[in-house]
Structure 1
Amino acid sequence: MLAIIDSFFEWLKESSSSPWFYLVIFVIAMLDSVLPIVPSETLVIVGGVTAGAGDLSIALVILCGASGAFVGDNLSYFLGREASDWV
């Protein structure tokens, strides 16, 4: 289990300076609203640290995190509203 966590953090360190990291922040923030076991807060903090180092834009990190949370919240609402009989 520790090997999986270590490999995840290595991947996170390498990919956090990539422009694709904005998409990762958006998707993880969206999934955090639907599946609460996904830790989006940690990823947004990593994005903020990376932005502080000058590799990413802090405005885009905030925008992607907030937009992902907004979309995820609406998705959770929609799932609860439409699938309430099934759940």
Structure 2
Amino acid sequence: MENAAAHILDLPPWLALVLVFALPALESSAFVGFVFPGEIALVLGGVLAFEGKVSLAAVLAAGITGAAVGDSIGYGVGRRYGRRVLNGTLGRWINQSHFDRAERYLAARGGRAVFVGRFTAALRVMVPGLAGMAHLRYRTFLFFNVAGAVAWGTFSVLLGYLGGSSWRQAASTSSHIGLALFAVVALALLAGWLVRRRRARSGTEDFT
């Protein structure tokens, strides 16, 4: 990962901006986020802006646009081909029940799940496609997708810009925040499941 990051920092400015756009765009549309989280590209873009190699505005525009466009593509893929993808190679890596639970969570929480999912790599890769599979209205998805892209993109780029040469620490901070949000979402899902199970048991007992 560090070698790849060092290569990105040595790229010509225009090519670095292409990657700042492309990597977030490919996260959920091509599942690249499982290998190289998009926030690393944005943090490094912020570092390049700090060094004066590219403008901060250009990095923000490239990263935010890439994130929003990529998730919209992921939504479209999930809506049209979701189950086929799930039953293919990708489905072997992730438990079917996890997908089903995430679909139910999206159906219940809607756009809020799209916004929160933006801030952690695991959910960022899966949520757009799952939103399409769950037939979340695209208008709702688009609003929270763009809002999440703006918030996440700005945060990640500014981490690199303000961190400057300490980009490794900035990237680590971003990853830790994402993991914390992922834990919160996982606990919320678990709590919801436990509540529903308890209610179901109570309803069964009422009929006995």
Question: By the TM > 0.5 criterion, same fold?
Answer: yes
Matched residue type, 1:29: P
Matched residue type, 1:77: Y
Q: How much does 1:40 deviate?
A: 1.0
Q: How do residues 36-47 of structure 1 correspond to structure 2 at under 5 angstroms?
A: 36-37=33-34, 38-47=36-45
Matched residue type, 1:30: A
* Equivalent of residue 68 in structure 1, options 48, 60, 66: 66
Structure 2: gaps (5+ residues): 86-208
Tell me the equivalent position of 1:26: 21
* Equivalent of residue 12 in structure 1, options 8, 13, 24: 8
Q: How much does 1:79 deviate?
A: 0.3
Q: TM-score scaled by structure 2? A: 0.36
RMSD: 1.7
Q: Does 1:55 align with 2:53?
A: yes
Structure 1: gaps (5+ residues): none
Matched residue type, 1:11: H
Higher helix share: 2
Aligned sequence identity (%): 28
Q: Is the 8 A contact 2:25 2:67 kept in 1?
A: yes
Q: Encode CA deviations 1:23-60: one digit per residue, 9 max, x unaligned.
A: 11111010123313131101111110110111111111
Q: Distance in 1 between matches of 2:71 and 2:61?
A: 15
| Structure possessing the higher relative contact order (Cα contacts under 8 Å, 6 or more residues apart) | 1
SS of corresponding position for 2:58: helix
Aligned length: 82
Bigger Rg, which one: 2
SS of corresponding position for 1:84: helix
Q: Encode CA deviations 1:61-87: one digit per residue, 9 max, x unaligned.
A: 011111111111111110011113423
SS of corresponding position for 1:54: coil
